[in-house]
Amino acid sequence: MMRYTIKRLLLAIPTLWAMLTAVFVLVRLVPGDPAAVMLGDQASAEALNALRHRLGLDLPLSTQYVDFMRDMLTGNFGTSMATGRTVLSEITQVLPWTIQLTLAAVLLGVLMGLPLGVWAAVKRNAWPDYLGRIISLAGLSFPAFVSGILMLLAFAIQLRWFPVIGSSVSGGWAAQLRDLVLPAFNLGLIMAAYVMRVTRSSMLGVLSEDYVRTARAKGVKPFRLVLRHGLRNALIPIITVVGLYFGTLIGNSVLTEIVFNRPGIGKLILGALNTRDYTLLQGLMVVFATCVIVINILTDLIYGFVDPRVKYK
């Protein structure tokens, strides 16, 4: 297991380096002079030069690149253009909100999607299967902000079950929990659609295996057959999808936070876009891409636990 882990970690280094290079190039694609874009048309020549100097834009590109790599690798993401605080503190300040939301969503997604997928596979081509397939396809079709807005309209504005504007920041844990319900269900339902689909197809594959038939012939009870012989072996593709889904989940949570006016990374990005805060955007991009790379490694490592054969490949 140790060797497998180390090998997987080493493989991530070139990806990390290439990702950082891509961010470096992308930020320099800003047409014209970034300093002029940030300060606007009215800026004086001295102010422009000062900002260029502060951003290191007056240095040769190769020096900029080396400096950029050193800063990123030491966790120095620079200071926000808009607030003057470090990018890292801007991000870590709102991160707990986003983590709370995404964890709740993953939990809901798996709790709803997994049993429904198993049920659909067991009842293949009967009504639970058809219904489940149509519902999950509809779930996959919702952009997160569309489902969020419709939920907001239905449950907060029409039915008034939840407040339209959240009070999370000031309220206690009960208020926080109440504000979490709609956004978490919004993300969780979309995720449940993904989980359900892959669970169904993975279970269908496993249930047609010889060893499942043998177990059934031996008289293994249906419940045990489905969970122990079926689901356990169907888990790998499901874990892959949950791992791969993480990137989509980040995008969806950004949209959800904007719709429900929740503090978090989504509102941070929106603010950075409005103030053209390129250092903050650059920092966010690096942090998120690193998260995705780390989650991919974790997904691979979990394989090793779920299926011991993986380690020896």
| C-alpha–C-alpha distance, residues 90 and 279, integer Å | 11
Span 31-60, contacts to other proteins by CB under 8 A: 31
Q: Among residues 75, 275, 108, 281, which one has the least CA distance to residue 180? A: 108
Residue 309: CB minimum distance to other proteins, A: 18
Q: Rule CB under 8 A: is residue 169 a binding residue for other proteins?
A: no
**Nearer Cβ to other proteins, position 29 or 159?**
29
Residue from the set 1, 6, 13, 22 that interacts with other proteins by CB under 8 A: 22
Segment contacting other proteins (CB under 8 A): 43-51, 109-117, 207-215, 279-287?
279-287
Q: Among residues 95, 139, 131, 32, which one has the least CA distance to residue 250? A: 95
Span 288-307, contacts to other proteins by CB under 8 A: 288-289, 292-293, 296
Segment contacting other proteins (CB under 8 A): 46-54, 72-80, 84-92, 250-258?
250-258
Residue from the set 150, 169, 177, 227 that interacts with other proteins by CB under 8 A: 150
Q: Rule CB under 8 A: is residue 68 a binding residue for other proteins?
A: no
Residue 156: CB minimum distance to other proteins, A: 10
Residue from the set 81, 108, 144, 203 that interacts with other proteins by CB under 8 A: 144
Residue 220: CB minimum distance to other proteins, A: 28
Segment contacting other proteins (CB under 8 A): 39-47, 67-75, 221-229, 254-262?
254-262
Q: Among residues 133, 267, 112, 290, which one has the least CA distance to residue 186? A: 112
Residue 299: CB minimum distance to other proteins, A: 11
Q: Rule CB under 8 A: is residue 162 a binding residue for other proteins?
A: no
Q: Rule CB under 8 A: is residue 285 a binding residue for other proteins?
A: yes
Segment contacting other proteins (CB under 8 A): 27-35, 65-73, 170-178, 213-221?
27-35
| C-alpha–C-alpha distance, residues 131 and 136, integer Å | 8
Q: Rule CB under 8 A: is residue 91 a binding residue for other proteins?
A: no
**Nearer Cβ to other proteins, position 111 or 138?**
138
Query: What is the 3-state secondary structure of the chain?
Result: CHHHHHHHHHHHHHHHHHHHHHHHHHHCCCCCCHHHHHHCCCCCHHHHHHHHHHHCCCCCHHHHHHHHHHHHHCCCCCECCCCCCEHHHHHHHHHHHHHHHHHHHHHHHHHHHHHHHHHHHHCCCCHHHHHHHHHHHHHHHCCHHHHHHHHHHHHHHHCCCCCCCCCCCCCCHHHHHHHHHHHHHHHHHHHHHHHHHHHHHHHHHHHCCHHHHHHHHCCCCHHHHHHHHHHHHHHHHHHHHHHHHHHHHHHHHHHHHHHCCCCCHHHHHHHHHHCCCHHHHHHHHHHHHHHHHHHHHHHHHHHHHHCHHHHHC
Chain residues binding other proteins by CB under 8 A are 14-15, 18-19, 22, 26-27, 29-31, 134, 137-138, 140-146, 149-150, 152-153, 157, 164, 194, 201, 237, 240-241, 244-248, 250-252, 254-255, 258-259, 269-270, 273, 278, 281, 284-285, 288-289, 292-293, 296
